[in-house]
Amino acid sequence: MSLTRDQVRAIAFLARIRVRDEDLDPLAKDISGILHWVEQLNEVKTEGVRPMTSVAEMTLPLRADKVDAGGNRDAILKNATDPVEGFYTVPKVVE
């Protein structure tokens, strides 16, 4: 699969990364090269093989539904840009 400039632009938007126009072609070339290379997996017969989602052969553990952490608002907000009165701030999203 070879990617076009427009496809790279669309993926970059999905990933919310701004890509300059002059970078689109080199990125398309790089990513297409890597995709061609990984497509060698098509040689492998995988009918009926259960996909491996985790190496840990275990049922995920449950814990008691109890609050065991929290109340750290100020410590957590310390790393935020421009927090206001205990809240994160972002550009206005509702007109």
Partner 1 sequence: MTALTDLDMVAAAAGLEKRDFTAVELIQAHLAAAKAARDLNAFIVETPDAALGAAAEADKRRLAGKAIGPLDGIPIAIKDLFCTEGVQTTAGSRILKGFAPAYESTVTANLKRAGAVFVGKTNLDEFAMGSANITSAFGPVKNPWGRGSGKDLVPGGSSGGSAAAVAAGLCLGATGTDTGGSIRQPASFCGIVGLKPTYGRCSRWGIVAFASSLDQAGPMTRTVTDAGLMLSAMAGHDPRDSTSAPLPCPDFAAAAGQPVKGLRIGIPKEYRIDGMPAEIDALWRKAETWFKDQGCEVAEVSLPHTKYALPTYYIVAPAEASSNLARYDGVRYGLRVPGETLDEMYMNTRAEGFGPEVRRRILIGTYVLSAGYYDAYYLKAQQVRALIARDFAQAFERVDAILAPTAPSPAFAIGEKMDDPIAMYLNDVFTVPASLAGLPALSVPAGLSQGGLPLGLQLIGRAFDEETVIRAGAAIERAAEFDSRPSRAGRR
Shortest distance, position 71 Cβ to partner 1, whole Å:
12
Q: Does 44 bind partner 1 (CB under 8 A)?
A: yes
Q: Which of 21, 22, 54, 66 binds partner 1 (CB under 8 A)?
A: 54
User: By C-beta, is 58 or 67 nearer to partner 1?
Assistant: 58
- Whether the CB-CB separation of 26 and 3 falls below 8 Å is answered with no
**How far is CA 54 from each of CA 25, 38, 45, rounded to the nearest angstrom?**
35, 21, 21
DSSP letter at 40 equals G
Is-contact 31 3, C-beta < 8 A?
Answer: yes
Tokens of 88: 């994160």
- Applying CB under 8 A, does 79 fall inside the site for partner 1? yes
Q: Which residues bind partner 1 (CB under 8 A)?
A: 3, 8, 11-19, 27, 30-31, 33-35, 37-44, 46, 49-56, 58, 60-61, 63, 72, 75-76, 78-82, 88, 90-91, 93
